[in-house]
Amino acid sequence: MRKAGMLMVTALAASLLAGCGYKASDKKEEVTITVFAAKSLNQVMEELIAEFQKTHENVNVQGSYDSSGTLMVQIEEGADCDVFFSAAVKQMNQLDETDGLVVEGTRHNVVNNQVCVVTYKESNTKVTGLKDIKNAGSIALADGSVPVGKYTRQAMVNAGMLEKADDVSKISTTDISEALGGVEINECANVGVVTSAVAEGSNEVGTVYYSDTYGLEDRLEILEKIPYDLTGDVIYPVAQIQNSEADEAEATTAKEFVDFLITDDAKEIFQKYYFDTDVED
């Protein structure tokens, strides 16, 4: 009888807890969420995740990094993703307005970045910036589906280096090479590949984000920070993603992580990695 009574008490307690609601941090077992983030966020996100987990001891945040376009397609195809942090609004708009995969009320503009023309230290390049980038022996350039590649193409169009296009992301690497006099271009899958190609000296110059130069100051030289009147703002939006596989604790944790990214503590970390946090949400 005593054993049966204990079982009844346990069942009643579980029922009461289920009915009262809870925070993800109240759950004893580990809660895992997956964050898809633009490759240019790799370094700062690892510090942000570590900071978040200090106050969420039972939470495991898994970061997955690639170009925003690649991550967007993976989400559309049903990848297990709880939070998406894009390097451009285009991919977020697709998931939000077209696909309906963004959780309502969780989307925020978090930071602004800036596209830079870079070279490796002591390259002795003749290039001074975007307008004479054709003078390089070779260029590392992200393809048009990658935000930094699209921003670079937009800057070249606005600078009169490329012909106008309805969708600049469709301008091919071959078209750019021809417009620049046949210069060799290494088409890269994401901005991390561009950064590595230049830092290692495989290509003379490339276009990356200002934040990508963090920690590589002894290997990369910034030739020009391309002005916003050529690229437009480089806004990074974040949002919680509809994940049918997530339970209540995981969904709650995902929302908590998104909220953390717009706090003053998070802004201080972003600024350390050369991101501009003065953006309109």
Q: How large is the average pLDDT for residues 87-103? A: 98
pLDDT value at residue 29:
85
Supply the pLDDT for residue 17: 45
- pLDDT recorded at residue 28: 62
Query: In degrees, to the nearest 5, what angle opens at C-alpha 224 toward C-alphas 200 and 48?
Result: 65
Integer CA distances (angstroms), 125 to 113, 185, 187, 203, 207, in order: 25, 16, 20, 11, 14
**What separation, in Å, do the N-terminal and C-terminal C-alpha atoms of the chain show?**
60
268, burial (CB in 10 Å: exposed 0-12, middle 13-18, buried 19+): exposed
Q: Residue 91 CA to chain centroid, in angstroms? A: 11
Give SS3 for 238. Answer: strand
CA dist., res. 204 & res. 139, Å (int):
6
Tokens coding 85: 């942090």
Mean pLDDT of 238-261: 97
pLDDT digits (tens, 9 = 90+) for 147-185: 999 999 999 999 999 999 999 999 999 999 999 999 999
The tokens for 58 are 């039972």
**What is the C-alpha separation between 56 and 256, in angstroms, rounded?**
10
Question: What mean pLDDT comes out for the span 256-268?
Answer: 98
Supply the DSSP symbol for 211: G
pLDDT grade, residue 1 (50/70/90)?
very low
Q: Residue 229 has which token pair?
A: 């009147």
Among 211, 232, 207, residue whose Cα is nearest residue 154: 232
Kindly report the CA angle at 92 between 88 and 98, in degrees rounded to 5?
140
For residue 222, give the nearest of 200, 243, 195 by alpha carbon: 195
Q: How far is it between the farthest Cα atoms of the chain?
A: 89
> How high does pLDDT run on average in the chain?
92
C-alpha angle 60-210-143 in degrees, rounded to nearest 5: 85
The Cα 49–Cα 258 span in angstroms is 11
pLDDT band at residue 23 under the 50/70/90 scheme = low
Pair 88, 58: CB distance under 8 Å? no
Task: Find tokens 């941090």 and name the residue.
Answer: 25
* Residue 171 phi, psi (nearest 5): -70, 120
Structure tokens given for 54? 């200090």
According to DSSP, residue 276 is labeled: B
Q: Is 146 helix (H, G, I), strand (E, B) or coil?
A: coil
Distance CA 85, CA 102 (A): 11
d(CA 274, CA 212): 9
Helix (H) or strand (E) holding 258: helix 248-260
Would you say residue 212 has pLDDT above 50?
yes
Give the CA radius of gyration of the chain. Answer: 22
What does pTM read for this prediction? 0.86
pLDDT in tens, 35-67: 999 999 999 999 999 999 999 989 999 999 999
Q: Is the pLDDT of residue 15 over 70?
A: no
